[in-house]
Amino acid sequence: MREKIIIYGGGGHAKTVIDILRSLDTWQIAGIVDDGIEPGTVISGIPVIGNGSVLESLKVEGIHSVVNTVGGIGDYKIRWNVFERLIAAGYDFPTLIHPTAFIEPSAELENGIQILPQSYISSAAQIGFGTLINAGVVVSHDCHIGKCVNLSPGALLAGGVKVDDFAQIGMGVTININVRIGAEALIGNSAVVKSDVPPHARIYAGQIWPNPFSHRDTNPKEYRKIA
């Protein structure tokens, strides 16, 4: 008999998680809990069964597992606050891995991780609690990813990259070998990161970090010629 699980959060990411759970066929989805959606609303065939006030009664019914589908893009605290509430309520957080993702046997995954389609986690990589690895992400060998990190679709991490707690990495970002991304940093879509990023820093979409012209008296044509 499949174990029951609830989904906390009825936004767009919930639809993705519902499809992952269905593809795994090891869980029975008991319903969606959401603080802002009317109970009885149906999302991808799954009903909203109430707000956070029902967590205690669901636990009494014997449901012990939950998936956090609150995104928190741009503000990790939104997603982390949900985790804290669910931890306080005594819930378990299974790690969900889409069947098309590939995880090397030597990789280490903590609880509450979600790995979406076509992602690759390489040898000796370590992924922290509650991290979201979106579709088409590459986490190369010996990477260390902290807790509640968000790796957006198509992010590419070279070997030995460290991403500290609560950092958010945008779509199509490329991070060079052995670079460290500080805690709570935000890396915009398609940025190229060649050196360490301090905690709380913001790298804007399409930016090369560090700026190759910030310390040189040259022009872009000259730089491209010698690069």
SS3 state of residue 22: helix
**Radius of gyration (C-alpha) of the chain in whole angstroms:** 19
Provide the pLDDT for residue 211: 84
Q: How far apart are the C-alpha atoms of 6 and 140, rounded to whole Å?
A: 32
Provide the pLDDT for residue 33: 98
Q: How many CB atoms lie within 10 A of CB 35?
A: 14
Q: Are 76 and 16 in contact (CB under 8 A)?
A: no
Partnered with residue 187 across adjacent β-strands are: 169, 203
Question: Tokens standing for 107?
Answer: 């990789």
Helix (H) or strand (E) holding 114: strand 114-115
pLDDT tens for the chain, 227 residues long, are: 789 999 999 999 999 999 999 999 899 999 999 999 999 999 999 999 999 999 999 999 999 999 999 987 888 999 999 999 999 999 999 999 999 999 999 999 999 999 999 999 999 999 999 999 999 999 999 999 999 999 999 999 999 999 999 999 999 999 999 999 999 999 999 999 999 999 999 999 999 999 876 654 444 443 333 23
Q: How far apart are the C-alpha atoms of 81 and 7, rounded to whole Å?
A: 15
SS3 state of residue 60: helix
Specify the amino acid at residue 147.
Answer: K
- Nearest to residue 132, comparing CAs of 145, 113, 118? 113
Separation of CA 67 from chain center: 12
Provide the pLDDT for residue 216: 47
- Nearest to residue 116, comparing CAs of 136, 130, 131, 95? 136
Q: Are 205 and 190 in contact (CB under 8 A)?
A: yes
Q: How many CB atoms lie within 10 A of CB 227?
A: 7
Question: Tokens standing for 199?
Answer: 């905690």
Provide the pLDDT for residue 25: 85
